[in-house]
Amino acid sequence: MTVVVYDGSFEGLLTAVFEVYEYKLPQPFIAREAATTGSLFGETHTVITNAEKSNRVYQKLKAIISAKTIKQLYDTYLSEIKEIENVLLRFIQYALQSNFTIENDYTKADVLLIQQTSKKVNREKHRMKAFVRFQLTKDQLYYCIIQPDYNVLPLIGKHFKERYADQRWLLYDGLRKYGLYYNGETVEEVQMHFEADLNNEQNLATLHDEKEELYQQLWKQYFSSVNIQARKNMKLHIRQMPKRYWRYLVEKQ
Amino acid sequence: MPMSDRITEKLSILADAAKYDVSCASSGSDRKNNNNGLGNASNGICHAYTEDGRCVSLLKILLTNHCIFDCAYCVSRKSNDIKRAAFTVQEVVDLTINFYRRNYIEGLFLSSGIFKNADYTMERLVSVAKKLRTEHKFNGYIHLKTIPGASDELVKEAGLWADRLSINVEMPTEKSLALLAPDKNRADMLKPMQFLKDAIIQNKEEKKLFASTPMFAPAGQSTQMVIGATPETDLEILWLANGFYKKFNMRRVYYSGYVPISNDNRLPAIGTPVPMIRENRLYQADWLMRFYGFKVQEIVNHENPLLDTDIDPKLSWALRNLQLFPVDINKAGYEVIVRIPGIGIQSAQKICAARKFRRLNSTHLQKLGIAYNRAKYFISSDTEFEKKDWHPNQIKSFILKEGNSKYEANFSPQLKLF
């Protein structure tokens, strides 16, 4: 077995796929830097991310599978599920060795798994579009800290940029320790070290715009007023707003 | 009372009064944020779900719950002794913008009790939408209620600012409407529906010629009827809904299970359970008509005027038509496969795509994620089990035994203590 170590980026993953073929690596097993502790019984091949190599894989994929399926591969990569890289590798190998298009061959386990995983990632993406609750600071920044199950920030930046084109906003992934900041013109990826402050509710409240608390109160009032008690159905409620998301929801505080 | 308390009180009264209108959709529009303003409208997002499990997508409020009408089923009826309130136009605008900027909502759904007369009320609704669009460059979703009897000019202007307009037909038959809403008449509701349908078609034609034609109600129109307050059958309800889809190009018909709010002896008494199962079955039937290629008479007809409550309408249809089964999933067309109980639209698409690679067997089908335990009675397959000639009632009882209905608790005659 050859452990093929890459840097965790999508470009790096495509470079790894390229090098599996370039060096004819025997029994390749792709792993992220962080996830690898070295292989006891095999070789280790370290991949250095290379734009040209990754682009050649990308162009080849474009020639043999649809744009929709390429997007599914990317979404599946963002799931960060353990060993998902090898499902993607096997899918690409299968696509390359077939002289017909295989993307709908759902009775093949890897094809079905990619379809299902990309669906899960997209569900999480949709939930983030829904469950983000911005809070307004004194200097008129709308911010929200999220902890999505999958790494969906790269998928939601465009939505928030188009929608909130006229306000500065920050979405910060508290698990993956990076965020997206929109300055009124462009969206930038940012890394910050403000954990200590942001974990403290009181520190946060002093940063808030004077109207912030009022609108949170009004929203809570609205949320409880539109409920119809005679139709109460907590099971359905929790299925649709699973408890792990409540931490960002003003109305569930 | 401090300003913030007064606005909180108004919000609680006017949200409470609006919540019986079940329309929640924020989809079907494609309004873009082209003016570097605030918001856009596209596929619809449910931002929250209330404890009754209903989605919260829009800020759904009444401009006022003062009303000159006395519709028995309505909580805001003139004769009801409740707190009354009214928002100013600016208050609604501020709430919408500030909720929207915090990503609480997709937009505004504004309705109103009728004060003075239809035009006076409609004019206020239109002015809120106009102000949001023009002064605040707001491109989020706006759903305006059309007040029956409002002038064509006002309805037309509403369509220029709103994404969706709706006029509630309220009751499934004119007879029930006359009984419960003596101030209203159906002609006043149908007239603006027809007007909107024509205006939307005309706008689409103009758009083909001139790209600069302004949008007109891009998310179309919808309507709602209260069910369970009056004795209509599902046949009457679904035939009316089918007519709305066919004749008025309605995007949605909503069915609102009556929540008893009145001691009026024309209505079910307070404490009568909300007909939630029936409401759910009506929505399932509605989906079959809109997405599964079913004709209304296949779902309900004079022999079967009521939907079954214990099983869904697709399964009911299949059990009444066992001569059409079993279906060979390796050969049958998509439109046949999508009618098999236990197979939804996505599964049907997957089956049709996957069978091109190899013959599908029961193991494959289970992995694809169909409800195999339900579908197995209706497909020809490689196993022995399904080849038996079951009687419809046997199949029904097998299926009922397997799954616990989500409504089982509601079937139980026992009182729940906790």
Question: Does residue B413 have a pLDDT over 50?
Answer: no
Helix (H, G, I), strand (E, B) or coil at B256: strand
Residues 6+ apart with CB under 8 A from A206: none
**Which tokens in the block code for residue A68?**
């929709």
The domain tally of chain B equals 2
For residue B399, pLDDT over 50 is answered with yes
Q: Which stretch of A197-206, B99-108, B132-141, B200-209 has the lowest confidence by average pLDDT?
A: A197-206
Chain B neighbors of A234, CB-CB under 8 A: 51
- Classify residue A80 as exposed, middle or buried by CB count within 10 Å of its CB (0-12, 13-18, 19+): middle
- Name B223's Cβ contacts closer than 8 Å, sequence gap at least 6: B166, B167, B168, B169, B189, B193, B244, B250, B252, B253, B254
* Buried b or exposed e, range B366-387, using 16+ CB within 10 angstroms: ebbbbbbebbbbbbebeeeebe
Three-state secondary-structure class, residue B38: strand
Residue B113 in domain: yes
d(CA B328, CA B343): 13
- In this predicted structure, what is the pLDDT of residue A195? 56
Domain containing residue B95: 3-268
Q: What is the pLDDT of residue A106?
A: 95
Q: What confidence score (pLDDT) does residue A192 get?
A: 81
Whole-number percent of chain A with pLDDT over 90: 85
What average pLDDT score do residues B40-53 get?
91
Asked whether residue B299 is domain-assigned, the answer is no
Q: Which residues of B touch A223 (CB under 8 A)?
A: 48, 50, 56
Predicted local distance difference test score (pLDDT) of residue B151: 95
Cβ-Cβ pairs closer than 8 A, A with B, add up to 153
B336 and B264 within one domain: no
Residue B128 burial (CB count, 10 A): 24
DSSP, res B201: H
By the 10 Å C-beta count (0-12 exposed, 13-18 middle, 19+ buried), B127 is classed as middle
Domain membership flag for residue B308:
no
Q: Within an 8 Å CB–CB cutoff, is residue A139 touching chain B?
A: no
CB contact under 8 A, B52 and A228: yes
- Confidence tier at B412 by pLDDT (50, 70, 90): very low
In a domain? residue B336: yes
In sequence order, which residues have a C-beta less than 8 Å from that of residue A242 and are 6 or more positions away? Answer: none
Q: What is the pLDDT of residue B416?
A: 37
B68 plus B157 within the same structural domain: yes
Domain boundary among the residues B268, B294, B322 is at: B268
**Each residue's pLDDT tens digit, B304-313:** 999 999 999 9
Tokens of A168: 């500065």
Q: Is the pLDDT of residue B407 over 60?
A: no
Q: Is-contact B110 B65, C-beta < 8 A?
A: no
Q: Does A3 touch chain B (CB under 8 A)?
A: no
Judgement on whether residues B147 and B207 belong to the same structural domain of the protein: yes
Distance from CA of B194 to the nearest CA of A (A): 31
Looking at the fold, whether B189 and B54 belong to one and the same domain comes out as yes
Residues A108-136 pLDDT 10s: 999 999 999 999 999 999 999 999 999 99
Q: Which of the 8 DSSP states describes residue B142? A: E
Tell me what ipTM this predicted complex has.
Answer: 0.93
Tell me if A164 and B360 make a contact (CB, 8 A cut-off).
Answer: no
Residue B278 has pLDDT above 90, yes or no: yes
Distance of CA A76 to the CA centre of its chain: 9
Q: Is B197 helix (H, G, I), strand (E, B) or coil?
A: helix
Chain B nearest-CA distance from A131, in A, is 6
Structure token digits, residue B11: 């919000």
Residue B212 lies in a domain: yes
- Residue B111 sits in a domain whose CATH number is 3.20.20.70
Contact B53 A162 (CB under 8 A): no
Closest partner CB to B19 (pick from A112, A135, A228): A228
Largest CA distance in chain A: 67
Above 70 in pLDDT, residue B415?
Answer: no
| A contacts of B356 (beta carbons < 8 Å) | 104
Average pLDDT of the residues of chain B: 92
A229 at interface of B, judged by CB pairs closer than 8 A: yes
- The least confident of A70-79, A214-223, B91-100, B405-414 is B405-414
Domain final position from B242, B268, B294:
B268
SS3 B309: coil
Cβ separation of A221 and B12 shorter than 8 Å?
yes
Statement to judge: residues B71 and B180 lie in one domain: yes
Backbone dihedral angles phi then psi of residue A224, each to the nearest 5 degrees: -80, -30
Look at residue A198 in the predicted model and tell me its pLDDT: 57
pLDDT value of position A247: 87
Amino acid at site A91? F
Write out pLDDT tens, residues B331-361: 999 999 999 999 999 999 999 999 999 999 9
Residue B364 resides in a domain: yes
Cβ of A165 and B7 within 8 Å? no
For residue B133, pLDDT over 70 is answered with yes
pLDDT band of residue B205 (cuts 50, 70, 90) is: very high
Strand order through the sheet with A168-173: A135-136, A141-146, A168-173, A178-182, A187-190
- Domain identity same for B243 and B318: no
Give one DSSP letter per residue of B181-195, joined into a string.
-TT--HHHHHHHHHH
- Return the residue of B nearest to A227 by Cα: B50
Task: Select the residue of A126, A215, A234 nearest B51 (Cβ to Cβ).
Answer: A234
Are residues B181 and B106 both part of a single domain?
yes
Q: Which two tokens stand for residue B368?
A: 């694809």
Question: Which 3-state string (H, E, C) describes chain A?
Answer: CEEEEECCCHHHHHHHHHHHHHCCCCCEEEEECCCCCCCCCCEEEECCCCHHHHHHHHHHHHHHCCHHHHHHHHHHHHCCCCCHHHHHHHHHHHHHHCCCCCCCCCCCHHHHHHHHHHHHHHHHHHHHHHHCCCEEECCCEEEEEECCCCCCHHHHHHHHHHHCCCCEEEEEECCCCEEEEECCCCEEEECCCCHHHHCCHHHHHHHECCCHHHHHHHHHHHHHHCCCHHHCCHHHHHHHCCHHHHHHCHHHC
Q: What stretch of H or E contains B164?
A: strand B164-166
**B300 lies in some domain:** no
DSSP SS3 for B111 = strand
Q: Answer with the one of B268, B298, B323 that is the final residue of a domain.
A: B268
User: Which whole number is the average pLDDT over B81-99?
Assistant: 97
Of all residues in chain B, the percent with pLDDT exceeding 70 is: 94
Is the pLDDT at A61 greater than 90? The verdict is: yes
What confidence category does residue B385 fall into, taking pLDDT thresholds of 50, 70 and 90?
low
Please report the pLDDT score of residue A43 as a whole number: 86
pLDDT score for B43: 81
Contact B101 A102 (CB under 8 A): no
- Mutation to test the A interface, candidates B3, B24, B36, B51, most A Cβ within 10 Å: B51
Backbone angles phi, psi at B398, to 5 degrees: -60, -45
d(CA B343, CA B284): 14
B338 and B201 within one domain: no
Considering CB atoms only, which of B7, B60, B276 is closest to A226?
B60
pLDDT(A40) > 70: no
Q: What is the rounded average pLDDT of the residues B399-407?
A: 72
In this structure, the answer to whether residues B329 and B252 fall within a common structural domain is no
Chain A: give the shortest CA distance to residue B78, in Å.
21
Q: What is the pLDDT of residues A8-30, one digit of tens each?
A: 999 999 999 999 999 999 999 99
Tell me phi and psi for residue A27, to 5 degrees.
Answer: 40, 60
Domain co-membership, B136 together with B44: yes
pLDDT digits (tens, 9 = 90+) for B319-333: 999 999 999 999 999
Between residues B406 and B220, the one the model is more confident about: B220
Tell me if A175 sits within 8 A of A151, measured CB to CB.
Answer: no
Identify whether the C-beta of residue A48 lies closer than 8 Å to the C-beta of residue A15.
yes
pLDDT at A157 over 80: yes
Same domain, B252 and B342: no
Task: Specify if B289 maps to a domain.
Answer: no
The number of residues making up chain A comes to: 253
Does the beta carbon of A105 lie under 8 angstroms from any beta carbon of chain B? Answer: yes
- Both B44 and B125 in a single domain? yes
Instruction: Please tell me the distance in Å from A240's CA to the nearest CA on chain B.
Output: 7
Contact B45 A130 (CB under 8 A): yes
pLDDT given at position A146:
94
DSSP state of B387: G
Q: What is the pLDDT of residue B417?
A: 36
8 A C-beta contact, residue A62 and residue A95? no
pLDDT of residue B404: 62
Q: Identify which of B1, B25, B59 has the alpha carbon closest to the alpha carbon of residue A221.
A: B59
Q: Which of B88, B94, B105 is nearest to B143 (CA)?
A: B105
